[in-house]
Structure 1
Amino acid sequence: MTRADLSKSPRDVAAMFDGVARGYDRTNAVLSVGNAALWRIATVRAVDPQKGERVLDIAAGTGTSSAALAKSGAEVIALDFSPGMVEEGRKRHPDLMFVQGDAEKLPFADGEFDAVTISFGLRNVQHPQVALAEMHRVLKPGGRVVICEFSRPPLGVLRAGYHAYLRHVMPLIAGAASSNPDAYTYLFESIREWPAQPELAQWLREAGFERVGYRNLTFGVVALHRGRTPDSTAH
């Protein structure tokens, strides 16, 4: 496709990410003004992976987040829909297990994982609620989910400034830093159209998660959502 839209056709989204795989991490670091690394640290802390646990990292891209999670000693599976991202990830992190797969049809059995996480990928899924249900399915009882995603700054003045940055500044940076600026045009639009924090929290509850909560990072530009599957030992 020549210009990304919000139809989120799985084939088009995969092709879009194939085209930016090699320079993806570098471009993200530039566009986030260095905050991407801080958001990743916060996400790893929220997941709190432990040695011996199995963790699924969905929309793992080139594996930067997966590698950070694996430092704990947990077994981390890096899943991404884009063949280009998976290929690049395997080159960069040969010690990690990469799987090409669809977040809406996870290629795993029920109750396989202690934790599931997805960073900046849920809004690129065609049917996010279906993906949340799949995350719930592959988690063990008492398993935890952590979603790091762009969100809406609650303060109007910050929200207006952020949207101006998305609309006017980011396209210029992406044009200079990315091999496929059209892909980032799609990403900007998807950020703008994504629901606010309370709505995503409600989606988690509807998927069956308990103890759902969220906290804002960088004044709400990004939000960390958390939840747990019901613990079968609870009475």
Structure 2
Amino acid sequence: MTRASLDKQPHEVAAMFDDVAAKYDLTNDVLSLGQARLWRKAVAQAVGARPAERILDLAAGTATSSQPFAAAGAYVVPCDFSLGMLREGKRRHPHMPFTAGDATKLPFADGVFDAVTISFGLRNVHDTDSALAELLRVTRPGGRVVICEFSHPTWAPFRTVYSEYLMRALPPVATAVSSNPDAYVYLAESIRAWPDQPALAARLQKAGWSEVAWRDLTGGIVALHRGRKPAEPVNP
């Protein structure tokens, strides 16, 4: 069994996700009390994929999150640094172009994607700012980013209840449904340590994204952050 530490060494995080790949989607549905499907739907709506667009789905895991983009007629590249996740995804969706890649050193040329998105993966990257800069690099001018990540509930009493659920209820539930419950202890700890909504928005702006905004889902348990790559200036 592998459990990543909060210093987020890439090999530790990758090995942790390798361990949970087979039951990852099922476990997420159980632990989120069914909310994970609603969050994926919100991401698909925010990305707004159109036919023939090129979309990078980073931290795609088994590509469950990629399916709505493909269904809309876009060319979607599911990318992840967990080979276990990629193998499981390729078994389920053999037609999709799964690609191994580190969020801080993406294996793509500059400006090739119309939209880039990452769901519940940015929190696991060891250098968040480098990842946000890399996403900007591979996006075309005028292209867009959508980040779906656990965040901080906006109502203080609910925030306290949620924190208690994470640290007390989540581990025993994970023990019942996951092949690696220790991975979900890390999950709870990493959520508590993650920046709140304004702080993540500021990091997006610092990386060079414009028109940055966010929308809370499920009372702020999850937040959708959006941004756009500034268009290149027109030469006189």
Question: What TM-score range do you get, normalising by the shorter chain?
Answer: over 0.9
* 2:55–2:114 Cα contact (<8 Å) kept: yes
Mapped partners of 2:4, 2:56: distance in 1: 28
Mapped partners of 2:69, 2:168: distance in 1: 34
Mapped partners of 2:218, 2:91: distance in 1: 32
Structure 1 equivalent of residue 201 of structure 2:
201
Structure 1 equivalent of residue 32 of structure 2:
32
Once the 2 structures are TM-superposed, how far is the Cα of residue 147 of structure 1 from its aligned partner? 0.1
Structure 1 equivalent of residue 56 of structure 2:
56
Once the 2 structures are TM-superposed, how far is the Cα of residue 160 of structure 1 from its aligned partner? 0.3
Question: Does 2:121 align with 1:121?
Answer: yes
Mapped partners of 1:230, 1:34: distance in 2: 36
Mapped partners of 1:144, 1:3: distance in 2: 33
Structure 2 equivalent of residue 230 of structure 1:
230
Residues 154-233 of structure 1: pairs in structure 2 closer than 5 A: 154-232=154-232
* 1:171–1:185 Cα contact (<8 Å) kept: yes
* 2:4–2:183 Cα contact (<8 Å) kept: yes
Question: Does 2:102 align with 1:102?
Answer: yes
User: What is the CA deviation profile of residues 140-193 of structure 1, one whole-angstrom value per residue up to 9, with x for unaligned ones?
Assistant: 000000000000011110100100110111111101000000111111110010
SS at 1:97 equivalent? coil
Mapped partners of 1:12, 1:233: distance in 2: 42
Structure 1 equivalent of residue 136 of structure 2:
136
Structure 2 equivalent of residue 75 of structure 1:
75
Unaligned runs of 5+ in 2: none
Once the 2 structures are TM-superposed, how far is the Cα of residue 4 of structure 1 from its aligned partner? 3.0
Once the 2 structures are TM-superposed, how far is the Cα of residue 22 of structure 1 from its aligned partner? 0.2
* 1:54–1:74 Cα contact (<8 Å) kept: yes
> TM-score, normalized by length of structure 2?
0.97
Mapped partners of 2:3, 2:140: distance in 1: 40
SS at 2:232 equivalent? coil
SS at 1:153 equivalent? coil
Length, aligned pairs only: 235
* 1:10–1:125 Cα contact (<8 Å) kept: yes
Once the 2 structures are TM-superposed, how far is the Cα of residue 232 of structure 1 from its aligned partner? 2.0
* 1:49–1:69 Cα contact (<8 Å) kept: yes
* 2:3–2:16 Cα contact (<8 Å) kept: no
Structure 2 equivalent of residue 91 of structure 1:
91
RMSD between aligned residues: 1.1
- Residue identity in the other structure for 2:89: G
**Structure 1 residues 3 and 113 mapped into 2: Cα distance closer, same or farther (>3 Å)?**
closer
Once the 2 structures are TM-superposed, how far is the Cα of residue 234 of structure 1 from its aligned partner? 6.7
Between 115-124 and 3-12, the greater mean CA deviation after superposition: 3-12
Structure 2 equivalent of residue 11 of structure 1:
11
Mapped partners of 2:203, 2:4: distance in 1: 25
Unaligned runs of 5+ in 1: none
User: What is the CA deviation profile of residues 91-135 of structure 1, one whole-angstrom value per residue up to 9, with x for unaligned ones?
Assistant: 111121100110000000000000000000000000011000000
* 2:3–2:12 Cα contact (<8 Å) kept: no
Structure 2 equivalent of residue 66 of structure 1:
66
SS at 1:64 equivalent? coil
